[in-house]
Structure formats: C-alpha cells, structure tokens
Structure 1
Amino acid sequence: MELFTQGKTNWKYILIVLISTILVSGGVLGYLRLTKEEFEISPIEISEKVAEKEIICDVSDPLYCKNDQDCICRERGCFMGNKYYYEKCINKDKLCFHHCGFYGLTIISKCSQNKCTFKLKRL
C-alpha cells in the first residue's frame, strides 16, 4: 500500500517489471510459434468387419423376440430389447444408472406378439 500512500512512485521499478514481462511473453509466444506442428487429416476408412456389423444391426429389429427370455434390460449400454441384438450391436461403454428400475421399482420384460414390452412393477 505504500506505493499509493507515498507521494513518490518508483517508475524505474515499474518500467523494469513491464519490460521483463514483455520479453518473457514474447519469448513464450516465439517458442510456441516455432514448435507448432501441422497435422494432416486423413480420410476415415471403414473396414469390412465394421460395415458388416452395421448392416446386421440396421436390418435386425431390436425389439423382436420369440419368448420372454429374449427380452432384456441392461444398464450397461442403456438398452431395453432383444438380448441377441444387445450382444451384437450395442456399445456397452455407456452406462445408465437406474435405467432398468428405480428405488422400489423394477422393470418386467415380456414377449408379446413377437415384440419385447416393458412395464414398471413395485417390489
């Protein structure tokens, strides 16, 4: 606070700090400009295996079922539907907590007219 309360200001000190700041920031910016790398973006190629998997997933019905055991609800992958579709086509990295039921509730899955149906039921 003495800087503002005194009548004198040490202009030499302020000038030295200002020049030092300019030199350091100029050096940093110069270094960044010299070390900047150019990246080349290459086109993405879809392998046959990935393309085949997508075709299988597009054609299949995720809700098709033959019996009640075909219908599942999984929090890993945030999925409700056919278990075979889940195994082949769903990315299981995504995780949805409480997706298959809430506190005091659970989801009951049934196969009705070859379609998986889901209802909430109290425990």
Structure 2
Amino acid sequence: MRRLLRALLTAGLTVAGVGVAAPASAAPCTITDFSPRSVTVGLTPVTTKFSVRTSGCSLADWSAEDDGFQFFVYGAAPQETSNPWRNSDAGPMDVIVTTTSSDWLSRERVFANGFALKRATAFQKGSFDAS
C-alpha cells in the first residue's frame, strides 16, 4: 500500500511539476496595419499623429519610418510635422513598421508604397517649390 501511495504521489508531483514548468509560448506581434496612409500638405506645415495596429501580443513599443526620411515616429512620440520643401518630396513611400511585444520580441513589416505625401494643388499654377 505504501508503494502504491508513494508511486501515486510521485506521479502526481511529476504531472504538477510539468504543468508548472511549461512556460507560456511567447510570440512577436503580428503587424496588421498603420495609419494614416496619406497626408496632404500645402504652404503651411501639417502635424499628423500615427498609430500601429497589431494582434497576437501585448504591444510594448512600436516605430514607423518611411524610406525617404520624411518621418520617424514611435509609441512615445507618435506625431510628425510634415513641411516638404520640394514637390519631389511628395509621392508614395515604403513604410517600415517595427513592433516590440511585452516579451521583448521584435517584428518588422514593410508596407510597399504604404504612405503618400500629397501636395494640395488648389492654389498652384505650374511648378511650385517652397525653397
């Protein structure tokens, strides 16, 4: 009887130990989207607030930047003021979004032509550059 009790106790502790020792699987965030996808600028600067949408994680931090050095934003400073000097600054841009989960796992996603800086042209006749 003691052997049976000892075997059951050992088996029970082993199963309980496995249950306690098995860590929850950590996963990086799945980056689903960011916003805004475009900003229209004219003769005055325009300040825009960016955001990132994720799933499958507890988001700790994020950043977004374009490939043309027009903006860089992150969770603690999500606003950027656009004040392009040349028409050539306008147009579609790739955007690189990086996220970090609360488990410190990072993921990056590139949105090809994901953002467009647009020029307000109602006042414009011909070519226009602010410089």
TM class by smaller structure = under 0.3
User: What is the TM-score with the length of structure 2 in the denominator?
Assistant: 0.22
Comparing both structures, which one devotes a greater share of its residues to helix?
A: 1
Comparing both structures, which one devotes a greater share of its residues to strand?
A: 2
User: What is the TM-score with the length of structure 1 in the denominator?
Assistant: 0.23
